[in-house]
Structure 1
Amino acid sequence: MTEHKLENATRPESPAGAEILGFRPLYRQVKEHFVRRLVDGVWSPGMALPSEGQLANEIGVSQGTVRKALDELAAENLLVRRQGRGTFVAEHDEQRILFQFFKLVSDDGVARFPDSRVLDIASEPADAAESAALNLQPDERVIRIRRIRSLGGKPLILETVSLPEQVFPGLQDSAVPNNLYSLFATRYGITVANARERLKAVALTAEQAAHLSVAAGTPALEIDRIALSLDGSAVERRLSLCLTEEAHYQSDLR
């Protein structure tokens, strides 16, 4: 289907990054246009994009404007540039999640994708914390997943994942894969674009400690994450209790 050219594509482009008289730079408008294609599923995970020239001609802007918009999306890990092959929609494969979302690293410095074992999964009324985190109405339900995550065969994380049931209907009735974000994208068309995390030191309760085979009161790192989709909606709350005797939280600042 042919899309209309941007309405203001003939307006002269503003200097790099400048916003004049309230107008956004044209490349930012092109970027938002491309994000909408991702949100609407026009561009799906793993899909090869048309060339920069084709895109520029299609929406009526310069190739340089398209390149700048695509570069920003690649920097945000939504697209992948492959030398000699083109530009592709990023997939939530284990390598991407390890790089972008999973920050617990063994003290030996080797980054590994964790294994998972589901303890239970159910559709239940959202509690106050879940409702606040996911912007739910008082009567809305969540799909709540509890699982143990291990690094190198050792249980290190007790994780509770809360998902709005209206966004992920029926998820509780099927097998839960280790890589949830890939499932969100392929089955529900929801791409997790970024997340906010809060970290806090806590002591494990007796029940929490039993799941991780440690003593009650053992110190742990609590990571409270809100995952956001491409349109900025909160689609997941993930509360992780992490043992850090043999692992640490690593964040690379850029």
Structure 2
Amino acid sequence: MGLDAAAPKSYIRHMSVHKLEITAQPREPDMPETLGFRPLYRQVKAIFVRRLMDGVWAPGAVLPSEGQLAAEIGVSQGTVRKALDELAAENLVVRRQGRGTFVAEHDERRILFQFFKLAPDQGAPRFPDSVVLSVTTGPADDAERTALDLQEAAPITRIRRQRSFDGAPLIVETVSLPQALFPGLENGPIPNNLYSLYAGHYGITIANARERLKAVALSAKDAAALGAAAGEPALQIDRIALSLDGTPVEHRLSLCLTQEVHYLSDLR
């Protein structure tokens, strides 16, 4: 997600409406696309993404109408609609019939739908409860540096927490965050909904994530946090969460008991 690699951020930030129109000259349907050419709606989408990144459009805010946006940028209303349709498909904005288009919020319903993939074997999917076990700081280790693309010894905040359904431990996880992006996080309360905290307090919206799944045996420490036996099998979920511009901002290593839950992925 985020801006196209062919267009540096500075280009999008300083590009005038006049230049925006010039860069999208019409072409014949059968003519191959020029190298580096981006459709006009994608250029408009890049402008909208920049507004989300800069906090011009805050989570939960209603966007101007398609007509207003079209007039402001100097493109057709159809071009704006197509750009917003892509943002809606990526869960960055929400269309509400008769009310307009809103910046998506990281509420529990959205996280449950987009980012939390463990579902009970019986009953409807739901968001787990969390208990923070510890919050520590220190230099990034090798795995964190690789996952978050950090320099050696970059300072990291680590949140270790237990997550549960109906009081039954389900997950123990470590969330690693660059202190440069989340200053002071270790000093404040840690809510259950971390992604809402990132967006509301630090202006960092989680746009998507990459996960790797693997079966592992629990260490004695992790087993104790889950009330399980050392060596018991668990599902390990190794996640790297990315911001709107594609920057890795969170590394999360989750160990999950799966006797009564399963990992649900809706492939489209």
Q: 1:21 and 2:37 equivalent?
A: no
Q: 1:130 and 2:139 equivalent?
A: no
CA distance in 2, matches of 1:19, 1:50: 35
Q: 1:221 to 1:15 in 2, by over 3 A?
A: farther
CA contact (8 A) 1:19 1:25 kept: no
The offset of 1:151, in angstroms, is 1.4
Measured against aligned partners, the alpha-carbon deviations of 1:168-208 in whole angstroms (never above 9, x if no partner) come to 00000011000000000010000000000000000001111
**Secondary structure of the residue that 1:9 maps to in structure 2?**
helix
Q: 1:212 to 1:65 in 2, by over 3 A?
A: same
Paired residue type of 2:60: G
CA contact (8 A) 2:117 2:264 kept: yes
Corresponding residue for 1:187? 201
CA contact (8 A) 2:20 2:43 kept: no
CA distance in 2, matches of 1:151, 1:105: 10
Alignment of 1:44-59 (within 5 A): 44-59=58-73
**Secondary structure of the residue that 2:50 maps to in structure 1?**
helix
Corresponding residue for 2:3? none
Q: 1:88 and 2:102 equivalent?
A: yes
CA contact (8 A) 1:14 1:25 kept: no
CA contact (8 A) 1:115 1:150 kept: yes
Paired residue type of 1:20: E
Q: 1:176 to 1:13 in 2, by over 3 A?
A: farther
Q: TM-score, normalised by structure 1?
A: 0.95
Aligned residues: 251
Measured against aligned partners, the alpha-carbon deviations of 1:214-249 in whole angstroms (never above 9, x if no partner) come to 111110000000000001100000000000000000
Q: TM-score, normalised by structure 2?
A: 0.90
Q: 1:37 and 2:51 equivalent?
A: yes
CA distance in 1, matches of 2:136, 2:21: 49
Paired residue type of 1:64: G
Paired residue type of 2:101: T
CA contact (8 A) 1:13 1:26 kept: no
Which runs of 5 or more structure 2 residues have no equivalent in the other structure? 1-14
The offset of 1:15, in angstroms, is 7.5
Which runs of 5 or more structure 1 residues have no equivalent in the other structure? none
Identity of aligned residues (%): 68
CA distance in 2, matches of 1:136, 1:12: 40
Structure 1 runs of 4+ off > 6 angstroms?
A: none
Corresponding residue for 1:144? 158
Corresponding residue for 2:124? 110
CA distance in 2, matches of 1:131, 1:40: 26
Corresponding residue for 1:203? 217
Corresponding residue for 1:165? 179
Residue range with higher mean Cα deviation, 157-166 or 101-110: 101-110
